[in-house]
Amino acid sequence: MAIEQKDIAAIREDYSKDSLQEKDVDENPFRQFSLWFEQALRAAVIEPNAMTLSTINQAGFPSSRVVLLKDFKSDGFSFFTNYNSQKGQDLEANNKASLLFFWPELQRQVRIEGFVQRLAEEDSDEYYASRPRGSQIGAWASPQSQIIRDRAFLEKEVQVYEERFGQQKSVPRPDFWGGFFLLPVRFEFWQGRNSRLHDRIVYQKKGTKWETNRLAP
């Protein structure tokens, strides 16, 4: 049975779990993010580190996909990928990107915009070494974002690299795989509220300082 448009339009969620006031937010957006992230962990949000990464592709279109945040510090956010993948190529051509975290259990989202650069090789090596061996093999086996014949091709490539590295204690990181680091210039913290009158607090970087304002929902 086909879903009618009116059925989709009728989907509604009441947002009433919390509020976000200017007096309650930290003056530093990284500390505010850390606070919300810790609350997402305590609320048992499913994969709280899942984020939508948006890049600009070579045709000039925005391109989005969900990736996993692997670390955040006082100046930025880290994630990892195949540098030859679509997102890797996008970021090499245009280093402007955005991140979106959505935590429905808390009726919250965080939008972050900034500039991306590659992580240092030693940081990529350290994270790669911490991955399960199957994921390490997968990084070698998958020509990410490229067209492949079928699933059997991928499984055969996995077998090839399992045999190649089978006798080795550790699997080396391929030079085409590693981390990116996003340095933010803008944050927006969104808290759902009743009647769609949501709270939106935005941080904009001005020189070395952060300017904070409220946006209309």
The catalytic residue among 12, 149, 151, 196 is: 196
Contacts of 201 (CB under 8 A, 6+ apart): 20, 22, 25, 188, 189, 212, 213, 214, 215
CA separation (Å) from 32 to 26, 37, 156?
5, 9, 46
Helix, strand or coil for residue 161?
helix
Q: What are phi and psi of 176, to 5 degrees?
A: -95, 10
Question: In whole angstroms, how large is the CA radius of gyration of the chain?
Answer: 20
Q: CA–CA distance from 35 to each of 25, 47, 48, 123 (Å)?
A: 10, 16, 13, 25
**Cα–Cα distance, 50 to 100 (Å, whole number):** 9
Distance CA 98, CA 112 (A): 5
User: Does residue 196 carry a catalytic annotation?
Assistant: yes
Active-site annotation, residues? 196
